[in-house]
Structure formats: C-alpha cells, structure tokens
Amino acid sequence: MLKSLSVLAGALTAALVLTPAAQAADPDPRDWDAVLEEARGQTVYFNAWGGSENINSYIDWAGATLKDRFGVDVVHVKLDDTANAVAKVLAEKAAGKNEGGSVDLIWINGENFASMKRQNLLMAPDWTTRLPNWAYVDHENKPTILTDFTIATDGLESPWGGAKMVFFHDIARTPADSVPNSSAELLDWAQRNPGRFSYPQPPDFIGSSFLKQVLLETITDKSKLRKPVNEARFAEDAVPLFAYLDKLHPSLWRSGKAYPQNYPDMKQKLADGELDIIFAFNPSEASAGIAAGELPDTVRSFTYDKGTLGNTHFVAIPYNAAAKAGALVLANFLISPEAQARKQDPAIWGDPTVLSMNKLSAQDRAAFDALDLGIATLKPDELGPALDEPHPDWMEHIEGEWLRRYGAAN
C-alpha cells in the first residue's frame, strides 16, 4: 500500500493545476439528511486492496448493507497496490477531469496519503470530523488517527481500523517468562538462541516494519523521525540502527544469509519449529493461525511494555469523486459500532477497532465484549502503547541502505 508515486508525480507535476478547479459544492456531512438523499441511487467505486478473501467478504457485506439501508451501490475495485488508484486520480487531474472521477473512495494510509495530500487530490478538509459516527472515534487516545505516518490528517481521511506490531512464540518451546521486552532484549535473546529469530527482507512490509521498530528504539533524537530525512545527517542518524543489525544478523536464521519470504513464511517456520519468535502487524494473527490449523494451540502473543509500532488505516475521498455523498455514507457506516464490531471479530477479519468503548452505549459495548478474540490474542489494554510511524521519507532511505549493506549477499 505504500509504494512511492514520486516518478509519476514528477512526470505529471508540470501538467497539474495545484488548486482544485471550481466545481459543485461538496456535500456537507453536517446536513446528514441531505447527504443521504443525494447518495440514494449513487454507485460508489471503492478502491481497496483485494488480496484477502475475508476482507473482500467483509467489504461485500458492507456494500450489501448500504444497498439495503440507503440505496447506495458499492463496487469493490480490487487493488494489488493502492498506488495504482492514486495514480488514476493524479492522471485525471492532469487531464482536467475535475468532476466525475472514476475513484470515489480509497483505502489508504502512509505514503499514498502523503502523496494525495501534497498533490491536492483529496476532498476538502474536515469532512471526517463532521460524520455522525465520528462521535464514537477514539481520537483522544489513539494519536495515529490524527496523524498518518507523522502527516496531519486534517479531516481528509476517515479512520477505518488499526494495526499494531505483536510478537508470537510457542510456550511449548519458549516460556512466557523468557521472551524479550524490547529490541535490546531481543538482540540479547537472539544471541543466546542463534538461528531462532529472523525477519523478512525489506522492502517486504513486515520486514520493513521490524526495521522501523528498531529505528524508533535506537535513534538518539526521536523528534527527527517526525520530519523528512536530513540528507546530510542520514548516515550519522542511522548509525544506531545498522549497528544493531550488524550485531543481530549473525544470530538470525541461516546466519542472516537468507530471510523468510514474508509473514506466512515466518508463520510456517514457527509451526515447523525452525523459528521460536515471529511477529505480525495484526494482534489477531496468532489466534487466526490456530483456528485455521496453521499454528499449534500453544502459540501465544506478547509485546513490549514501552510500545511497538502502530498505525491506523483510513478511507479517503478524491477531490473529483463522482459519488461523494455515497462515499460519505460508506465512510460513516465503516466507523459505526455495528461495522467496527463485525470487523474486529477474528472469524470475520480480526482488524482492531478505532472506536472508544467509553463512548458507546451499553448495548454496543456488549457486542464488543462478546467477541471471542481467540486464545492467543492480547486484550486491547494488554497491547501496550502504539509508537508512531516515522515520516515516510525515512523508510525509503532505510530500505535503500539496508539493501546496499545486506541485500547483495542474498
């Protein structure tokens, strides 16, 4: 979801007018009855990743519900890379198509959001905070709802779900009292248990997330991560990260000469006994693996007391969307207690909610309380703090330097 559009953006920048052309007024969520009336009969082209059957089924359910309740059709445009949808909007703007665009709603975060915001490709700010169901969103305690990879959301995208780095181990081989509680302790553990830990090679999303976690814990001045990389100081700023990796790699699986392909490969290696500690970006992954027969029922989760990487994923409306009212109705429904509880159910998806339980009615809270999160899933209050993602520019530099240092040997 986070591939750069810099090449395409550079090619088209000369053709773009950086302020949206005059167009019909956007629907105002503060007049929700008018939004519902305008939305009826519209078709919303929801551009969202299509690589997971359970997520696709959830989107199908949301679309069927919107059709039944509000007369809004939802077409899931299945993406393998969110950057493709962003590129489509960018191309339409370059061609002067400022109304009637082909993309109505995009599942987005990180670099793709930063690109759309920078290129003025999004509907006017603050529509998110005016949605009726915004009243339930936990923006006070989840800072990643208001900043997306350090970029202020400014009401340009609506939160949909959360992600949090969580580690897994098999208590049959690795007792709970022996697991590390920080990246420093993980290094010590790996050196005492050579070959029993690894991570996917960047730019795999999970592998890059591991690099970001270590970066967050080792960089001397964390405030630098909220801004783009200072080119003149990058080598110095990255010294602690790569010093850590230089120490870690000889103790990795296959001595760091090869890497797991991705998270499913790590999961298989945990099941086969090749690895003793793995990690994912969804707290429900271990329970889902147990339920699917992919992991033994002795697998459990743990995290770090001082926090692990976390982020929020969103939906956004392009500035030239053809069905803005329908997109608002869908975005509002996706943060309803009903839709959020269904999404958090591991049997449906297992994606963490963005809502505050304290803001819900007793009936809605009961729906969340009734969820069986699974034997290996930590409760929300056991997940520890969420550490903010660095500015997207950092990951491009870190991945490039990682490949320069370690990639040639693989």
Q: What is the pLDDT of residues 361-392, one digit of tens each?
A: 999 999 999 999 999 999 877 888 888 899 98
User: Do 76 and 131 lie in a common domain?
Assistant: yes
User: Residue 166's pLDDT is what?
Assistant: 97
pLDDT band at 17 (very low <50, low <70, confident <90, very high): very low
Domain total in the chain: 2
* Distance (Å, whole) CA 105 – CA 60: 15
Q: Are residues 173 and 150 part of one domain?
A: no
pLDDT at 335 over 90: yes
* % of the chain residues with pLDDT over 70: 93
Q: For residue 234, what are the domain limits?
A: 166-302+388-409
- Give yes or no: residues 182 and 197 share one domain: yes
Which among 303, 283, 310 is positioned nearest to 375, based on CA atoms? 283
Query: Is the residue at 262 inside a domain?
Result: yes
Residue 126 in domain: yes
Beta strands in 57-146 (DSSP E): 73-79, 105-108
Q: Domain containing 329 — which CATH number? A: 3.40.190.10
Asked if residue 254 and residue 337 are part of one domain, the reply reads no
Place of tokens 């248990």: 193
Are residues 13 and 62 located together in one domain of the fold?
Answer: yes
Over range 49-67, report the average pLDDT: 93
pLDDT in tens, 104-114: 999 999 889 99
> Coil, strand, or helix at residue 152?
strand
pLDDT given at position 128: 97
Q: Are residues 247 and 393 in the same domain?
A: yes
Bridging pattern class, strands 147-148 and 151-152: antiparallel
Structural domain contains residue 383: no
Q: What is the pLDDT of residues 230-243, one digit of tens each?
A: 999 999 999 999 99
Question: For the range 288-295, what are the long-range contacts, defined as Cβ-Cβ under 8 Å and sequence gap of 24 or more?
Answer: 288/346, 288/350, 288/374, 289/376, 290/374, 290/375, 290/376, 291/346, 291/347, 291/374, 294/267, 294/268, 295/168, 295/170, 295/267, 295/270, 295/271, 295/376
Whether 106 and 184 map to the same domain: the answer is no
* H-helix segments, 140-226: 183-192, 205-218
Give pLDDT, residue 292: 84
pLDDT at 41: 98
In a domain, 196, yes or no: yes
This model's pTM is above 0.85: no
pLDDT tens track for 190-239: 999 999 999 999 988 899 999 999 999 999 999 999 999 999 999 999 99
**Does one domain contain both 154 and 18?**
yes
150 and 196 housed in the same domain: no
Residue 111 confidence (pLDDT): 84
Point out the least confidently predicted range of 51-65, 152-166, 246-260, 378-392: 378-392
Domain-located, residue 48: yes
* Distant-in-sequence, close-in-space partners of 68: CB < 8 Å, separation ≥ 6: none
Distance CA 92, CA 228 (A): 28
Reference 227, options 236, 218, 217, 237; nearest CA is: 237
Judge whether 288 lies within some domain. yes
pLDDT of residue 337: 98
Query: What angle do the packed helices 392-406 and 239-248 form, to 10 degrees?
Result: 40
Q: Which residue has the tokens 């930063």?
A: 114
- Residues 252, 109 share a domain: no
pLDDT band, very low/low/confident/very high, at 410 (cuts 50, 70, 90)? low
Give the pLDDT confidence score for residue 203 in this predicted structure: 87
Question: Are residues 296 and 321 located together in one domain of the fold?
Answer: no
Regarding whether 219 and 357 lie in a shared domain, the answer is no
Residue 45 lies in a domain: yes
Residue 1 lies in a domain: no
